[in-house]
Amino acid sequence: MAIKIIDKRCLDDDNLAKTFREISILKSLHHPHITRLYEVMESSRSIYLVTEYATNGEIFDHLVTNGRMKEEEASRIFSQLVSAVDFCHRKGVVHRDLKAENVLLDAEMNIKVVICTLSSLNINYLMSLLAR
C-alpha cells in the first residue's frame, strides 16, 4: 500500500475542494488498471489516502532504464491503458493529466493509472446520462 499525505494547511478552498473531488472520483473507480483507493483518514491538519502500491514504479522510469519496449509488450500495455481510460470515460471521469509519470507498473508489469487532483467529472456527460 502507498499513503498519500495532503497537508490541508497548504491548500486554499479551491484546492481543498479539488482534493475532495479526487477522493470522490477514486472511491467510484474500481478497475484492474486504475490505482485503488482503500482508505481515507482525516485529521485537523492532514488528509491521508491509502492506495494500491505499484511495486515497479512509473512506466516513465521503466522506459528510461530499459529503453523502447518490444512491440508485444507495448501492445499489451497500450491495451490496458485504453481499457482504463475507456472505463473512466464511461464513468464520466476525464483524467486531464495522462502521462508516463501517472502510469505505474505493478509486480506483474501491468499498468495502474494514477488518478490525481487534475481529474474531473465531466458534468455535461453525467447530465446527458441522467436525461436518458
The residues that are catalytic are 97
- DSSP code per residue over 83-112: HHHHHHHHTTEE-S--SGGGEEE-TTS-EE
The DSSP-derived string for 58-81 is BHHHHHHHH-SPPHHHHHHHHHHH
Residue 62, amino acid: H
Helices and strands (DSSP H and E) totals, the chain: 4, 7
